Amino acid sequence: MRLLSMCVGALPLVVATAAQAQVITPVQGSRSVSAGISAVDATTNVVHSDSHGTHGFAPFSDSIVLKANTQYEDSKSRVDADGSGTGQSTIGASRITASVSATARGVAMDPSARGQGQGNADFYLTFNVNRISRYVVWGSAQADSDAYIGAYQFGGSTALLYVADITATHPILSLDIGNLDGEDSSTRTGWIPAGQYTLQGDVSALVDAQGQGNGSASASWSLDLQLFCPSDYDVNGTVNVADRTAFLNAWQAGQLAADVDGNGTVDATDRTLFLSAYNTGC
Ligand SMILES: [Ca+2]
Ligand SMILES: [Ca+2]
């Protein structure tokens, strides 16, 4: 809030103007976790699957773990299958946190046996941001699988996490580990204009162990997206002269960290946008 001092005739008039707070408004969303397993041998067939999901924006926390095993009369042979999916998320006025994971395991100790496990977790949300805001987003994703024998792959895992302006080509955050072992994480800070955004994250893990195969797979991602006042340059939750100084230093150095409108260049428009926001207050 700042005070505007104006003169009306000879009388000074002080008008208090409250700046608008940055607010996340969910528009559409769904979250789900699922798991499926089957443990199959010549005499026994155990098949089970389960899934939970929700539409809407209430806090979501759910986990499914399925296990099955069966044993041949020949004690050397065994079939096991595990699958799990886990998801949790919170959607606040200026912060979204979420994490999901999935695991799978399959064991088939006999040439005619088959152990299949799979886990999945999905997160989808579109949301509106009411004004230009400073943001910090942190995301991490990992996928890992050992479900192969030589060159033969009988499973895998994938992790995808994506946050973007629904109309823009450049995402705020994009992590994609597609059916390869690996992990990636990223922290980004910048400004997002008012508008509609989409957040999508999926993980899956699958093992289909046949003929003495034995493997496991896992995948997960985590996300923390926070919005701040557009003039809170150092995103510490308060706006003061340190933010102004830090911005102007970056702007004078021509650093992209001062690219307020996100058009890829740093020019007078960015300086005007920042100082206008700074003078308006939070
Ligand atoms: Ca600050
Ligand atoms: Ca710019």
266: CA distance to ligand 1 center in Å? 21
End-of-domain residue from the set 228, 247, 266: 228
Specify the pTM: 0.85
Residue 198, domain member (yes or no): yes
Closest CA to 177 of 147, 202, 152, 198: 202
234: CA distance to ligand 1 center in Å? 5
198 and 103 in a common domain:
yes
Q: Which amino acid type is present at position 183?
A: E
Q: Tell me the ligand closest to 231's alpha carbon.
A: 1
Alpha carbons 108 and 81: distance in angstroms, whole number: 9
Q: Tell me the ligand closest to 229's alpha carbon.
A: 1
Q: Is the dihedral of CA 207, 125, 264, 271 positive or negative?
A: negative
132: CA distance to ligand 2 center in Å? 14
Joined together, the tokens standing for residue 135 give 């943001």
Condensed to tens digits (0 to 9), the pLDDT of residues 72-123 reads 665 556 788 889 999 999 999 999 999 999 999 998 887 778 888 999 999 9
End-of-domain residue from the set 228, 251, 267: 228
Residue 78, domain member (yes or no): yes
Contacts of 28 (CB under 8 A, 6+ apart): 124, 125, 126
64 and 184 in a common domain:
yes
Joined together, the tokens standing for residue 90 give 């919170």
> Is the Cβ–Cβ distance between 77 and 41 less than 8 Å?
yes
Q: Tell me the ligand closest to 257's alpha carbon.
A: 2
Those residues whose beta carbon sits under 5 angstroms from the ion ligand 1 are 232, 234, 236, 243
238 and 200 in a common domain:
no
The total domain count for the chain is 2
Residue 13, domain member (yes or no): no
Residue appearing with tokens 């949301």: 127
- 241-252 helix and 268-280 helix, angle to the nearest 10 degrees: 180
Q: Tell me the ligand closest to 228's alpha carbon.
A: 1
End-of-domain residue from the set 228, 254, 269: 228
Residue appearing with tokens 């152990």: 115
282 and 167 in a common domain:
no
> Is the Cβ–Cβ distance between 112 and 146 less than 8 Å?
no
Report which DSSP code applies to 258. Answer: G
Joined together, the tokens standing for residue 252 give 């004078």
Alpha carbons 188 and 226: distance in angstroms, whole number: 11
246: CA distance to ligand 1 center in Å? 9
Q: Which stretches of the chain score pLDDT less than 50?
A: 1-17
246 and 145 in a common domain:
no
Write out the E strands in the chain: 2-8, 11-17, 24-40, 45-55, 60-71, 78-91, 95-108, 114-129, 133-145, 148-149, 152-153, 155-165, 173-177, 182-192, 195-210, 214-228
249: CA distance to ligand 1 center in Å? 15
176 and 43 in a common domain:
yes
Q: Tell me the ligand closest to 255's alpha carbon.
A: 2
90 and 162 in a common domain:
yes
Joined together, the tokens standing for residue 179 give 């059916």
223 and 245 in a common domain:
no
Residue 162, domain member (yes or no): yes
249 and 221 in a common domain:
no
Please tell me the predicted confidence (pLDDT) of residue 10: 41
Residue 2, domain member (yes or no): no
Please tell me the predicted confidence (pLDDT) of residue 18: 54
Please tell me the predicted confidence (pLDDT) of residue 268: 97
Please tell me the predicted confidence (pLDDT) of residue 187: 92
Residue 8, domain member (yes or no): no
Please tell me the predicted confidence (pLDDT) of residue 1: 34
255: CA distance to ligand 2 center in Å? 10
265 and 148 in a common domain:
no
Q: Tell me the ligand closest to 245's alpha carbon.
A: 1
245 and 191 in a common domain:
no
Domain holding 252, by residue range, is 234-282
143 and 166 in a common domain:
yes
248: CA distance to ligand 1 center in Å? 13
